[in-house]
């Protein structure tokens, strides 16, 4: 039995944690199951609405579902104003630490004023309700300020991960037709400066929609400011009023577009809205992390990904939490950096990725020993399935065997955590994501959409709509329907495989489509292959994901060179750099194999499953549709070299 199929390594009941947890009894699942619309309506009542909804859910144009129909809300009022109008006005909202060591603290009152100033600054640039604003920044406090400022005036923000290249940035700006870009001169990473503004300048050579660029001075590196287009952040906000009322918007008003890789090579712009998204991330942040006012909460994700949107910014701030933000790499200037941060600020909740856990396992426990982690009371995992060995190490070494672990499954598209333990109720099983969150309905089905038996693998689907779900793919509603509801009519297809054990707990197997999950970052094979083929030496390319001890999956490429091009170690390194330049460093192939042909079907489709099987040393299986069996021997020969 493989590690992923371990039924139960050890059970960790919640014990005394349940005495003060928000959710202390399992009957919440049954209550949500009996009337799940009433359940989500009660959750919505925890928030401030400018106008109450008339209907909880409208299914009339399914799968384009609408939640809290007729309601008016603004997510920033729930994240800022209602706290600043209470005793939390002087409570710390954000604790920030820069990679070089600077520290800043923003209370809820201060954060509200900063957001107000930048919201007024955006308006002075002509940004109006519905306009798109691209945010290409590092992990600095101004990033959540800019997000909240956009939302406050009804603009739509699109955060692009600061590790993406100019090419990837241009594609995303063009797709949403952004009016303004907000960036910074540079960002720190392992002591180096990432030239974000330079990347923006390159990207905008291929963009027509952008009118203005706002530049935050952070790294103090030299940048070129272009005439009337570019303006420094500090000069723009100077003299602006900190007062800017939150604009009441319809519950279905767009909040943000976040791009995620797809199988076509064109990134998908996932659209989330103010109302249902606010309800979903508010309740899941509160219950899954058992957030209390005394907590110091640290999610180590980058805000450029959905985890940062939902569980650094909107979910925790909606709950009035104190959030830690760290700018840099986990091992800079030493592998003790994270543990120093936990000790320095008294972090009580740590939410991170299996990639990071495996990374620190490999480095050894000596970097953790000597640091006081006794303030930790809950640990979380996100981004990909966590194997039992890493789960146990996390529990024992980081959590001191006293902290429940919430192993969460969700996606950019779901907006909120979907399958997870509730720490005051759930019996934890290392490697299992536990059960669907109350009010979420999931099952595992076969290719005909029929539910499979316990411990039988299949396709993970969500059978009912949920408040925080994506509303569409920006500019491509047909792709939305086909991608998510075309495989199993009436059900949301996650693209993941899973199984359910005899006790009803879910075990996520991983991606079943052609998307590679590298350190929790989803990369489309088509996008990676397009980057390789864009190099003048490459004729064809096929990319697969293979298991990796640290990253979860690593990118392995099979490349057919153009006639007359010699395969050399130097060319291999050049191609790796080329992919990093085209997409970003995270996409750099771990290995490149030069081959003379790729295994294809007679219709010309690359058979990636054969490449995966060969790379992992498994049986190839049926090859009746293979055009030329010589391709198999070719790949075998190359891998043995």
- pLDDT digit string (tens) for 430-460? 989 999 999 999 999 999 999 999 988 889 9
Residue 628 has pLDDT above 80, yes or no: no
- Of 311, 332, 338, the residue nearest 323 (C-alpha): 311
Q: What is the pLDDT of residue 2?
A: 34
The token duo for 266 is: 């064109």
Q: Convert the pLDDT of each residue in 184-232 to its tens digit.
A: 999 999 999 999 999 999 999 999 999 999 999 999 999 999 989 999 9
Q: Does the global pTM surpass 0.85? A: yes
Question: What is the band of 265 on the pLDDT scale with cuts at 50, 70, 90?
Answer: low
Banded pLDDT at 262 (limits 50, 70, 90): low
Longest dimension (CA), the chain: 72
pLDDT, tens only, 13-46: 666 788 999 999 999 999 999 999 999 999 999 9
Secondary structure class of 30 (helix, strand, coil): helix
Categorize the per-residue pLDDT at 320 as very low, low, confident or very high, splitting at 50, 70 and 90: very high
Phi, psi angle pair for 115, to nearest 5°: -65, -40
Better-scored residue on pLDDT, 605 or 545: 545
Lowest mean pLDDT among 20-34, 66-80, 353-367: 353-367
**pLDDT score at 5:** 39
Establish how many alpha carbons lie within 13 A of residue 419's alpha carbon, considering only the half-sphere containing its beta carbon. 28
Is residue 185 within 8 Å of 220, Cβ to Cβ?
Answer: yes
What is the Cα Rg of the chain in Å? 24
For the stretch 329-352, pLDDT in tens is 999 999 999 999 999 999 999 999
Give every CB contact of residue 391 below 8 A, 6+ residues apart in sequence: 9, 381, 405, 407, 430, 431
Q: Of 334, 370, 371, 335, whose CA–CA distance to 356 is shortest?
A: 335
Q: Is the pLDDT of residue 7 over 80?
A: no
% pLDDT > 90, the chain: 75
- Quickly state the pLDDT bin for 629 (edges 50, 70, 90): low
Neighbours of 426 (CB within 10 A): 22
Give pLDDT tens digits for 508-555: 987 776 678 888 777 777 778 878 988 999 988 889 888 888 888 899
* Least confident span in 104-108, 473-477, 545-549: 545-549
Query: 95, 103 in Cβ contact below 8 A?
Result: yes
- What integer pLDDT is reported at residue 575 of this predicted model? 96
pLDDT at 609: 77
DSSP 204-227: GGG-SS--EEEEE-SS-------T
Residue 251 contacts residue 73 (beta carbons within 8 Å): yes
Eight-class DSSP state of 312: I
Residue 602 reports pLDDT greater than 60: no
Predicted confidence (pLDDT) at residue 581 exceeds the cutoff of 80: yes
């Amino acid at each position: 039995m493989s590690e992923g199929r371990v039924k139960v390594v050890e059970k960790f009941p919640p014990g005394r944690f349940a005495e003060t947890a928000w959710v202390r009894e399992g009957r919440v699942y049954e209550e949500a199951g009996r009337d799940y619309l009433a359940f989500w309506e009660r959750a919505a009542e925890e928030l401030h609405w400018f106008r109450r909804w008339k209907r909880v859910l409208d299914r009339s144009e399914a799968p384009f579902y609408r939640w809290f129909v007729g309601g008016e809300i603004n997510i920033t009022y729930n994240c800022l104003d209602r706290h600043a109008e209470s005793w939390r006005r002087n409570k710390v909202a954000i604790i920030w630490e820069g990679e070089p060591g600077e520290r800043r603290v923003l209370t809820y009152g201060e954060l509200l004023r900063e957001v107000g100033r930048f919201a007024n600054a955006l308006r002075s640039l002509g940004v109006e309700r519905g306009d798109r604003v691209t945010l290409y920044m590092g992990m600095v406090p101004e990033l959540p300020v800019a997000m909240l400022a956009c939302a406050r005036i009804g603009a739509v923000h699109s955060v692009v991960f600061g590790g993406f290249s100019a090419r990837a940035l241009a594609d995303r700006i063009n797709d949403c037709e952004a009016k303004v870009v907000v960036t910074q001169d540079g960002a720190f990473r392992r002591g180096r400066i990432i030239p974000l503004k330079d990347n923006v300048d390159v990207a905008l050579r291929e963009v027509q929609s952008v009118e203005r660029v706002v530049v935050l001075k952070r790294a103090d590196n030299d940048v070129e400011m272009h005439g009337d287009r570019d303006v420094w952040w500090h000069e723009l906000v100077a003299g602006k009023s900190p007062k800017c009322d939150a604009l009441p918007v319809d519950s279905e008003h767009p909040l943000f577009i976040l791009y995620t890789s797809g199988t076509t090579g064109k990134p998908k712009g996932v659209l989330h809205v103010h109302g249902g998204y606010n309800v979903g991330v508010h309740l899941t942040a509160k219950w899954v992390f058992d957030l209390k006012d005394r907590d110091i909460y640290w999610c180590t994700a980058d805000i450029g990904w959905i985890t940062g949107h939902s569980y650094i910014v909107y979910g925790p701030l909606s709950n009035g939490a104190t959030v830690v933000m760290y700018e840099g790499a986990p091992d800079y200037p030493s592998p003790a950096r994270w543990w120093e941060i936990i000790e320095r600020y008294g972090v009580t909740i740590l939410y991170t990725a299996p990639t990071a856990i495996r990374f620190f396992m490999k480095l050894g426990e000596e970097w953790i020993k000597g640091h006081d982690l006794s303030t930790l009371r809950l640990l979380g995992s996100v981004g990909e399935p966590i194997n039992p060995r890493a789960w146990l190490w996390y529990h024992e070494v980081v959590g001191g065997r006293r902290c429940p672990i919430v192993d969460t499954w969700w996606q950019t598209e779901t907006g909120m955590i979907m399958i997870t333990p509730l720490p005051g109720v759930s019996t934890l099983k290392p490697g299992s994501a536990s059960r669907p969150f109350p009010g979420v309905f999931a099952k595992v089905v076969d290719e005909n959409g029929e539910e499979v038996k316990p411990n039988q693998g299949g396709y993970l689907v969500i059978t009912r709509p949920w408040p925080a779900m994506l509303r569409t793919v920006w500019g491509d509603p047909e792709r939305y329907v086909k991608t998510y509801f075309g495989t199993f009519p009436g059900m949301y297809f996650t693209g993941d495989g899973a199984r359910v054990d005899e006790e009803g707990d879910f075990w996520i197997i991983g991606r079943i489509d052609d998307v590679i999950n590298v350190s929790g970052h989803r990369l489309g094979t088509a996008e990676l292959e397009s980057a390789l083929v864009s190099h003048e030496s490459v004729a064809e390319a096929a990319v697969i994901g293979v298991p990796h001890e640290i990253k979860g999956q690593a990118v392995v490429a099979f490349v057919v060179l153009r006639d007359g091009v010699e395969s050399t170690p130097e060319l291999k390194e050049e191609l790796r750099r080329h992919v990093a330049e085209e997409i970003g460093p995270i996409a750099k192939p771990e290995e490149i194999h030069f081959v003379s042909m790729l295994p294809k079907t007679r219709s010309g489709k690359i058979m990636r499953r054969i490449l995966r099987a060969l790379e992992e040393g498994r049986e190839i299986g049926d090859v009746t549709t293979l055009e030329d069996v010589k391709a198999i021997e070719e790949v075998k020969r190359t891998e043995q070299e």
